[in-house]
Structure 1
Amino acid sequence: MSHSALPSATGTANCRTKAGDSSDHAVGGNTSLDVHPAPLGVVATQADLQYLAAPVNAIFNPPSATGMGFWSINPYVGCAFGCAYCYARDTHRWQLERAGGAGMRVAESLPAWLAFERRILVKQNAAAKVREALRSTRSPKAGDKLVIGTATDPYQPAERHQGITRGVLEALGDVRGLSITIITKSPLVTRDVDLLARLTARNRVTVHISLITLDRDLARRIEPRAPTPDSRLRAVRRLSDAGIDVGVNCMPVLPGITDRPQALADLVKRVAEAGASHLATASLRLKPSAKRRYLMLMRESFPELTQRYLSAYSDGAHINKAYKTGLSEYMHKLCDKHGLNTRQYRYDGEELMQDEHEKSQAINAARTVQPEVQLLFEF
Structure 2
Amino acid sequence: MTHPTSPAGTRRTAGHRLQLPAAAVAEMRARLPVVADATVAAILEEVPGYEGALTGSMGENIRNAVQLALGGFLSLASGRRGADPRTPAAPAVEGAYQLGRGEARSGRTTEALLAAYRVGARVSWRQMSTTAVEVGVPAQTLADFAELVFAYIDELSAASVAGHADELATTGRVRQRLLDRVTRQLLQGAPAETVRGSAERAGWEPPTTLTAVLVPEAQLRPVLAGLSTRTLVARDLTELEDHAVLLVPDAHERRRPALLRTLLGRGAVAGPARPWLEVHGSFERVLRARALDILDDTETHLAELVLRADPEALADLRAQALAPLATLRPAAAEKLTDTLRSWLLHHGRREDVAAELFVHPQTVRYRMGQLRELYGDRLDDPAQVLALTIALGADRA
Query: Whose strand fraction is larger, Structure 1's or Structure 2's?
Result: 1
Higher-Rg member (1/2): 2
Task: Flag the structure with higher helix content.
Answer: 2
**More relative contact order, 1 or 2 (CA 8 Å, 6+ apart):** 1
